[in-house]
Structure 1
Amino acid sequence: MAAVLIPSFILLMCFWISPSLQHISEAEPLVSFKNSVKITKGDLNSWKIGTDPCGGKWFGIYCNKGLTVTGIHVTQLGLTGTIKVDDLKALPNLKTVRLDNNLLSGHLPNFSKLRGLKSLMLSNNSFSGEIPDDFFKDLPRLKRLFLDHNKFVGNIPSSIMQLPDLEEVHLQGNKFTGKIPPLSDVNKNMKILDLSDNLLGGEVPESIPNRKNLTANFEGNKDVCGKSINIECKSVEVTPSGQITLPPTTNPESTHASSIVYAIMLALTFLFTFFIVVGAIKRRKKKINAEFRMLDKERLSDLEALQVKVPEPSKNRGGNMDVGSTKKGGVGGGGGGGGGGEVGGGMSDLVMVNNEKGSFGLPHLMKAAAEVLGSGSLGSAYMAVMANGLSVVVKRIRDMNKFAPEAFDVEMRRLGKLRHPNVLTPLAYHYRREEKLVVSEYMPNSSLLYVLHGDSGEYRSELTWATRLKIIKGVAQGMQYLHQEFASYDLPHGNLKSSNVLLNENYKPVISDYAFLPFLEPNIASQTLFAYKTPEFAQNQQVSHKSDVYCLGIIILEILTGKFPSQYGKGGTDIVQWVQSSMAAQKGEELIDPEIVKSTDSMQQMLELLRIGAACIASNPDERLDISEVVRRIEQVKT
């Protein structure tokens, strides 16, 4: 009997120990990968031999049910050097490699050795050279390929178009030449094909425009032609090297007459297309209004009731908006919570990322009484009361289109791991190509912007000196946490202002709409995020962590003075110029809001906070305080 029990016990121990040992064994190839590149911005110090990559502390590492590594997401760290793909072969369940927005160069590494890869994202690097035609033939499971904004040349590899599961291809912003390869009948799933801004030529293969549900973009390729893009080919030939051969010249008079006819036809086509587009926009607008008919507490039932995905461990996975609330009630925003759920087909479901407030689905949301809270640069916000009594905010965010569903899901789940008392976490999201929904908890005391400036200052008297100090401390501590968690980001928050500081029933502040920079295209980010209104961006087109510090300084001064900053938009007071000139003239006391001066004798503490705020808004970013120093000094201020 003992002879049987001992082996069984040993087997049981092996069963319990082996996952941890596998984690540690997966650390070695990851550290080898780290050592093969140079990190010029940030660090990967959390990657250490002998520690568990799936323990939740390795930056940029994602695991399947906490068992094995499935994703590497190392972006915006200024990586240079040569990637050793052979090291990554030791990760048998690796599904996603994301190294976009770095400084990697040279020929495309041989990622075809990673046969289980589903997503390869290398956008915005400096990879160059030709890609062999059969490069992708050994990646049969690949679904998403992002090679855009590099320096690739030569023909587009035909093996890309022959992958059976491929759904999304981004090759824009390179120097590819030659003809566009046809899309194989083997592939039935292609949804996005972006070949814009290359040097391609010749006729668009019929296999592409004939494919239903496929959105293709060929703009910026002046020699591409075909019926699908309304450009007649006229016997233009493109050699394999990309050289263009034009047809023989014709009689000038004939050419002139043809040009007139062509111009007339083009004008008619334009008018016809214009009316079609206008009609489509009106129909779309009507549809959207029907979907979210939320004014006057109407029901949300017009939106299609869709399947809900409740949390489960992540599997195979690789808004910014600025709402000036028109009603007393918080506008929730970015952030995260734990949880998971497979990304649904077509993203036709509500994905829970934080079930601390309970789980719910889109059908529950559709049946909830709701009302409009406000709208901003990226979308609108609505408040809804769920059947269990939970009040939530639904943000409809436009222009968050930089990521495909899988990448978007990965980023949302990264936010979902955050935990801080002054950082708002979302509860769920819904992905659509044209817009995203982000659901978060409703804050009953609305935003700091509203309490300070809304409804003719009706609620401003509730902001006593002690309450304002609590808000300033909470915001600063929340920002310090975000700067630690997103140290590799240029802008850990990016859109800090009083409309994105929400207040609970006890006026505890929570920060929303943070860490959205990676979701946005650069041109959208520069138009919508408040950090891009800092002096350094106006002068040098640059932003950094110190841009967030500048925004924090604006909030500190806004709270102390009670003035609406003109930096937020038209009207208000140029709070930067006013504070700097008054401080220089030793008139700091005149800056403090009379509402709090009359009820306390804490003027010296207020002036100290004023000095801290002024030190955050220096024109030169190098002269501003670090976020850690801001927090240290604020915590020393007492009521």
Structure 2
Amino acid sequence: MTPKLGSHVTILILIIHLHFIVSSTQSDKEILLKFKESLKNTGALSLWDNNNNKPPCEGDYEIWNGVLCEKGSVWGLQLENMGLGGVIDVDTLVGLKNLRAISFMNNNFDGKLPDLTKLGALRSIYLTSNQFSGEIPGDMFSALIGLKKIYLGNNKFSGPIPGSLASLPKLKELEMENNQFEGGIPDFSKEHLKVFNVSNNRLEGQIPTSLSHIDASAFSGNKDLCGAPLKSCTSPSKVSTSTIIILSILVAAALAALVAVVIILRRRKNQPPDYSADRKAIASTDLDKMEQGGQTTASSASSSPDHMSKKSEQSVKLTFLQEDMRDKFDMSDLLKASAEILGSGVFGSTYKAALNEGTVMVVKRFRHMNNVSREEFNEHMRRLGRLNHQNVLSIVGFYYRKEEKLLVTNFAHNGSLAVHLHGNKSRGLPSPDWPTRLKIIKGVAKGLKYLYIELPSLTAPHGHLKSSNVLLDKSFNPLLTDYGLVPVTNQEHAQQHMISYKSPEYKQNGRITKKTDIWSLGILILEILTGRFPSNFLQEGRGGDTDIVTWVESIMRDDDDSHVEVFDGDMKGILKSCEGEMMKLLRIGLKCCVADVDRRMDVKDVLEKIEEIKERDNGEDEFYSSYASEGDMRSSRGLSDDFNVTFT
């Protein structure tokens, strides 16, 4: 080699070496900006700008939206519900050396699954609700040995389930529902797998025995799957001629019966309507139809003849408690409305009625108030009708009959807190994050204090405070409902079903006190923080005859750091900087649940203590929360419990 040629080679090697050094020392900011270039519709990433003088992370705090930080580095990308498209540039993301979790849920990414094998340090992958399609290579996940959680649901994946998933030693959660996967299910180890869902695919064959402990709903929608927890796999056998004949006769008889029923129903339908019935009987009948889950138009109520008596008209008249609603609708409008049943409980049923002009009202039917007179009921309802607070659901109007009572309220768009705490997972929706839960608790406490001030004569101003009686509006502000009903509820029914009568003081002394609602608030706080339903939390397998308060206290007494297990692992937005504030709120909840009434906090002190709780330990209120933004209801779960392994 000539000296000249040797010098050229040396220079070339130096250039390559320098290029490697530069590329390997790219800042997180430069990497994210380059990654953004591969995306489409990036309006939600306006902070990701080269002119932004601030880095993505400052210590453990996120400056740019959609990133999660630790010690000044990006370790998680949470780009959810942003309408993003384009390409997930894995080659660029390799530069984020501390990247452990990615979530691109609820976006518009399509095509084949990106080659994630290059991101070998990943612990969690969330790609739910996009447009990904095609087969996933069988060895796609073999190199990602640290993976704990994979969410691929609501896409268009096809082909067999990658066998490499079954070999992941740390896999805890796998959801692949609502795709087009086919073939058999690999044999997963049941040691670590806690969450599993392959429903609504095209899978077939016997379910591995290692998955027999999973709920049957995780396998539904795959008609050719069999084995525990589904029906057992049986080999086909020949059917005898006599059996075929018997089955044919049974089918023919069933068809004949069906035809007879149709003829009878048509004859009844063609009969002229009987308008002699009292209008209140019509109201009850239509509500019964609503309770059976169907829709009612109450045509007989709206088209009754002119000779109907004025007495009958008055019998279904609503009493309005808000003047501005008086001219908007009446009982006949409610009965004509398109209705759906929202739920049925120990007090009665609740219906959603959509009126013609677009107004949506809620009608709650009570059947255990027949011991109260009309005058007493009217007086109490008018008292409740005067209440006006941002965290108390106002009663618009009511209807009195001896046998039943109707209360009419406005519609809360985000339903009950109970559904968000306990029902979202089954519907493929995320649980509320920590800031949202704190916001709800503060609103509940404010509403309860208001009831104490405005209803001083009531021993328990609410009386039935629980998560299903906390509704959420469009902005996830809490609204207390079913309050102040103790005086008008049949005493035997109240004692059997109302939350106040489950308190320690009632069990011990047969009475409720002014602090009974505080005990209910404490139970609600524990439910919100732990994510466990108070009456059935022992289903997790801890065993023993205990309650949620005893369970929390037993964990808090442990000498090690296991007390953090008390918090709901599905809570989005959990960061180490929140643990102190969450623990403060947990202690407030326990103080509200003290069995000794004299030692229990009063409502004023409770509200003051709760108001002091912040979203972060350092007192900063700024928190990047996406759960309640614009009432957004995202499908499936996000990075919640991955962002602090302490809570998993």
**TM-score scaled by length of structure 2:** 0.46
- The structure whose Rg is larger is 2
**TM-score scaled by length of structure 1:** 0.47
